[in-house]
């Protein structure tokens, strides 16, 4: 018998932020399904989080704290009280000897809830710890669109019914934004631009396969065609933008023949693309959050935003360029007055580098992240985590790659065991996540752990004694969001009839759309490594999450490397054969799959497997904007494996 149905939110780093319903019988969740009342996600979950109950009740859940003083020793079960005393003692000791900056909380968005991801900020402020800058994914594109539009905004999904041409640029909606695919699959023309022929590319009306990261050149060629054919919206550009003269001068230097050669896209294809895009309006360029993980990621996103402006599509309902809708008006719960020293910021993509180049960091506290699997330059991360003088604490639901390298492992809650509040970075709906069941074993939410660390350290501030619900209510202070209404279901944070920038007012210094003159900076070559190795997201895994869930394993069992048959012949690598992928940073053993889904010279493997993975080869050099990761600007060599 169904005892109750609890409304919750998928917490994953995914634009959809699906509404979920948890069915609870006798105190146990029997199934988790999509909430049909959610206006955007409309009652279904993607393949990753259907059967979320299999994560909740997984036999490998960590159920109690584990500790070892020596990382080569076996873990021993300890109590929470012992765990908190160990952690508090270690933090006190490090602060006394080296200062709070020697403690680094390392986290990303394995849980995007505001309580889960932000309630530690007050503790880190109190301790004057160093911080990471969240550069591992989206920052280059964020910086580009903020410089151009003044905000990370674009057309909202409720306006997709007006879109007449949908361009998924560097985006595979079927895998990474499934509800966007559902809302756009009947829009024609449907155009996909991607160097890898993804499942979305295979069903497109027009598929454009440029050489990796030549997208700014392709965008400039399209702008040239728009200007030459009179499809540029000169009235919009004159009235609402700055910088168009410089942009036009740069565009008029663009040779379509040369662009075709650089991008390896036939000129006729570029002209067909331009005509479909310019003549079927409103036209939307939906920019993949992944494209920017290139050395020129910022200029790539900037070029696409500029293209949409040239077409006069910005602010048009259902048109424009959408990278993300990422303005989250939530109350500040970080208690900044608790901090007495400026924070020292580390770029999180350089974790291995800064842990190995000196001993400035003495304690690493990891939550909402698994950097031993997901951070670039994996061998350096492994070496850094192995330092005997580095105390590593990990709060996770599973014994992740990082937890396996820790001193102290703390059992975390799944989404079904905690309160939180969520907003999407695609649609504008917010919702409270209610716990459906009590924590399993001795699992505790992030919020509980942060507060109890503070109490164990002797801090008296009342913020460290708040309940999850009190902190959640604090997040709503200053917003128009009501706790009870949000707990009852998804609520729009913006008027749904509104489209970003529809009044042609931009929150930039000039109040106008500030065009960036397009540029193209080819990737620097890396020795003799001739293959560009990209690592797109899998539709089976959520970053490194779910890798140990049996149902998802079918899709990721084999560590596949896609390479073109010509390259297979060149390297003597047959379909199904083991292949060694290597460069100066490391190597990974994969299984070859010969495929024309990749171009000659391009190889691809889905991320992120547990254990040694493609990140053994990925670089930790930042992109042109935002300090962004550059996973896709990775050059490797191939040879038959053993
Ligand atoms: S991962 Fe994304 S699409 Fe899948 S259930 Fe969660 S929010 Fe929805």
> Measured from the CB, is residue 193 less than 6 Å from ligand 1?
no
For Cα atoms 148, 150, 152, give the angle at the middle one, nearest 5 degrees: 95
Ligand 1 atom closest to Cα of residue 9 = 7
Unique residue bearing structure tokens 């988790």: 32
Residue of the nearest CA to atom 4 in ligand 1? 46
Ligand 1 atom closest to Cα of residue 177 = 3
Cα separation, 468 vs 470, whole angstroms: 5
What is the structure's pLDDT at 157? 97
Q: Place 30 in a pLDDT band, splitting at 50, 70 and 90.
A: very high
Span 89-118, mean pLDDT? 97
From ligand 1's centre to the CA of 343, what distance in Å? Answer: 34
Cite the residue boundaries of each domain of the chain with CATH code 3.40.50.740: 66-136+343-489
Q: How many CB atoms lie within 10 A of CB 26?
A: 7
Cα separation, 333 vs 354, whole angstroms: 29
Dihedral, CA of residue 132, residue 420, residue 23 and residue 410, to nearest 10? 50
Distance of CA 491 to the CA centre of its chain: 24
Is 541's pLDDT higher than 90?
Answer: no
Cα separation, 415 vs 576, whole angstroms: 39
Span 328-355, mean pLDDT? 95
Using alpha carbons, select from 360, 325, 368 the residue that is nearest to residue 160.
325
**Mean pLDDT value across the chain:** 96
Backbone φ, ψ for residue 333 (5° rounding): -105, 15
Cα separation, 306 vs 516, whole angstroms: 7
Angle between helix 468-476 and helix 446-456 axes, rounded to 10 deg? 110
Span 208-213, mean pLDDT? 98
Strand duo 578-583 + 586-594: pairing: antiparallel
Span 225-240, mean pLDDT? 98
> Measured from the CB, is residue 45 less than 6 Å from ligand 1?
yes
Q: Alpha carbon of 204 to those of 61, 197, 337, 564: distances in Å?
A: 41, 10, 52, 21
What is the structure's pLDDT at 16? 95
Among 22, 43, 111, 178, residue to substitute to test ligand 1 (most atoms within 8 Å of Cβ): 178
Name which residue leads in pLDDT, 608 or 273. Answer: 273
> Measured from the CB, is residue 14 less than 6 Å from ligand 1?
yes
Ligand 1 atom closest to Cα of residue 45 = 5
Cα separation, 219 vs 167, whole angstroms: 12
**Residue 534, helix vs strand vs coil:** strand
Length of the chain: 642
DSSP 71: T
Backbone φ, ψ for residue 83 (5° rounding): -60, -45
> Measured from the CB, is residue 225 less than 6 Å from ligand 1?
no
Arch. (CATH architecture) of 139-323+501-514? 3-Layer(aba) Sandwich (3.40)
Is 195's pLDDT higher than 80?
Answer: yes
Ligand 1 atom closest to Cα of residue 17 = 7
Q: Please state which of the ranges 118-132, 284-298, 532-546, 581-595 shows the lowest mean pLDDT.
A: 532-546
Strand duo 165-169 + 283-287: pairing: parallel
Q: Report whether 532 contacts 635 (CB < 8 A).
A: yes
Consecutive H or E run containing 420: strand 420-423
> Measured from the CB, is residue 18 less than 6 Å from ligand 1?
yes
Is 454's pLDDT higher than 80?
Answer: yes
What is the structure's pLDDT at 608? 85
Token reading at 273: 């693309």
User: Is 3.30.200.210 the CATH classification of the domain at 4-56?
Assistant: yes
Would you list the DSSP string of 236-285?
HHHHHEE-HHHHHHHHHT--HHHHHHHHT--HHHHHHHHHHHHHSSSEEE
Name which residue leads in pLDDT, 479 or 278. Answer: 278
Distance of CA 125 to the CA centre of its chain: 25
Span 315-335, mean pLDDT? 93
From ligand 1's centre to the CA of 126, what distance in Å? Answer: 34
Is 508's pLDDT higher than 80?
Answer: yes
Strand partners, 107: 367
Span 423-449, mean pLDDT? 97
Burial per residue of 502-516, b for 16 or more beta-carbon CB atoms within 10 angstroms, e otherwise: eeeebebeeebbbbb
Instruction: Give the sheet arrangement for strand 206-208, strand by strand.
Output: 206-208, 190-193, 165-169, 283-287, 320-322
CATH class of 531-640: mainly beta
From ligand 1's centre to the CA of 67, what distance in Å? Answer: 33
Residue of the nearest CA to atom 3 in ligand 1? 46
> Measured from the CB, is residue 542 less than 6 Å from ligand 1?
yes
Unique residue bearing structure tokens 């896609």: 562
Which tens digit of pLDDT belongs to each residue from 369-410? Answer: 999 999 999 999 999 999 999 999 999 999 999 999 999 999
Angle between helix 244-252 and helix 215-228 axes, rounded to 10 deg? 100
Instruction: Give the sheet arrangement for strand 429-433, strand by strand.
Output: 420-423, 429-433, 491-492
Cite the residue boundaries of each domain of the chain with CATH code 2.40.40.20: 531-640
Q: Place 538 in a pLDDT band, splitting at 50, 70 and 90.
A: confident
> Measured from the CB, is residue 17 less than 6 Å from ligand 1?
yes
Ligand 1 atom closest to Cα of residue 49 = 5
> Measured from the CB, is residue 33 less than 6 Å from ligand 1?
no
Arch. (CATH architecture) of 66-136+343-489? 3-Layer(aba) Sandwich (3.40)
Cite the residue boundaries of each domain of the chain with CATH code 3.30.200.210: 4-56
Cα separation, 287 vs 607, whole angstroms: 20
What is the structure's pLDDT at 210? 98
From ligand 1's centre to the CA of 394, what distance in Å? Answer: 25
How would you write 313-330 as a 3-class SS string? CCCCCCCEEECCCCCCCC
What is the structure's pLDDT at 531? 98
Q: Report whether 220 contacts 518 (CB < 8 A).
A: yes
Residues 6+ apart with CB under 8 A from 88: 453, 456, 457, 458
């Amino acid at each position: 018998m169904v005892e109750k149905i609890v409304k919750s939110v998928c917490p994953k780093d995914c634009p959809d932020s699906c509404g979920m319903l948890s069915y609870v019988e006798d105190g146990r969740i029997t199934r988790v399904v999509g909430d049909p009342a959610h206006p955007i996600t409309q009652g279904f979950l993607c393949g990753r989080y259907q059967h979320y109950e299999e994560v909740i009740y997984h036999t490998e859940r960590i159920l109690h704290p584990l500790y070892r003083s020596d990382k080569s020793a076996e873990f021993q079960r300890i109590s929470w009280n012992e765990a908190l005393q160990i952690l508090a003692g270690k933090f006190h000791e490090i602060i006394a000897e080296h200062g709070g900056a020697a403690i680094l909380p390392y986290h990303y968005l394995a849980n995007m809830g505001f309580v889960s991801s932000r309630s530690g900020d007050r503790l880190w402020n109190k301790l004057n710890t160093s911080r990471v800058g969240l550069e591992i994914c989206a920052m280059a594109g964020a910086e580009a669109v903020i410089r151009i539009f003044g905000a990370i905004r674009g057309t909202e999904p409720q306006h997709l019914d007006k879109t007449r041409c949908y361009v998924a640029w560097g985006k595979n909606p079927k895998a990474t934004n499934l509800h966007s695919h559902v809302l756009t699959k009947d829009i024609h023309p449907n155009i996909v631009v991607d160097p890898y022929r993804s499942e979305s590319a295979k069903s497109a009306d027009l598929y454009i396969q440029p050489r990796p990261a030549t997208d700014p050149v392709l965008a400039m060629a399209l702008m040239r065609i728009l200007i030459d054919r009179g499809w540029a919206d000169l009235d919009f550009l004159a009235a609402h933008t700055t910088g168009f003269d410089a942009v036009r001068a740069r565009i008029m230097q663009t040779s379509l023949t040369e662009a075709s050669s650089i991008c390896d896209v036939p000129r006729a294809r570029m002209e067909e693309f331009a005509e479909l895009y310019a003549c079927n309006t409103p036209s939307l360029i939906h920019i993949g959050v992944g494209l920017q993980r290139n050395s020129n990621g910022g200029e790539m996103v900037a070029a696409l935003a500029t293209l949409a402006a040239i077409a006069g599509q910005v602010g048009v309902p259902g048109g424009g360029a959408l990278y993300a809708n990422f303005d989250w008006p939530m109350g500040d719960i970080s208690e900044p007055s608790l901090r007495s020293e400026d924070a020292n910021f580390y770029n999180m993509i350089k974790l291995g580098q800064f842990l190995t180049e000196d001993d400035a960091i003495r304690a690493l506290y990891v939550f909402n992240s698994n950097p031993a699997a997901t951070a670039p330059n994996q061998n350096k991360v492994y070496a850094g985590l192995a330092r005997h003088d580095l105390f590593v604490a990990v709060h996770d639901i599973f014994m992740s790659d990082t937890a396996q390298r820790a001193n102290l492992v703390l059992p975390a809650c799944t989404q079904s065991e905690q309160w939180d509040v969520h907003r999407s970075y695609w649609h504008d709906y917010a919702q409270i996540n209610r716990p459906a069941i009590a924590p399993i074993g001795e699992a505790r939410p992030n919020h509980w752990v942060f507060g109890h660390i503070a109490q164990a350290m002797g801090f008296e501030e009342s913020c460290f004694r708040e309940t999850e619900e009190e902190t959640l209510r604090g997040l709503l202070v200053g917003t128009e969001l009501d706790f009870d209404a949000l707990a009852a279901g998804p609520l729009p944070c913006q008027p749904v009839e509104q489209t970003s920038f529809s009044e042609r007012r931009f929150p930039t210094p000039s109040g106008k759309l500030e065009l960036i003159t397009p540029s193209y900076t080819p990737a620097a070559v890396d020795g003799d490594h001739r293959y560009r190795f990209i690592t797109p997201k899998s539709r089976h895994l959520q970053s490194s999450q779910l890798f140990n869930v049996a149902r998802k394993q079918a899709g990721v069992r084999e560590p596949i490397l896609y390479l073109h048959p010509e390259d297979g012949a060149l390297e003597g690598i047959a379909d199904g054969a083991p292949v060694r992928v290597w460069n100066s940073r490391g190597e990974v053993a994969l299984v070859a799959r010969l495929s024309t889904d990749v171009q000659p010279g391009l190889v691809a493997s889905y991320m992120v497997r547990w254990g040694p993975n493609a990140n053994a080869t990925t670089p930790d050099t930042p992109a042109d904007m935002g300090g962004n990761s550059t996973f896709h600007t990775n050059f490797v060599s191939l040879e038959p494996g053993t």
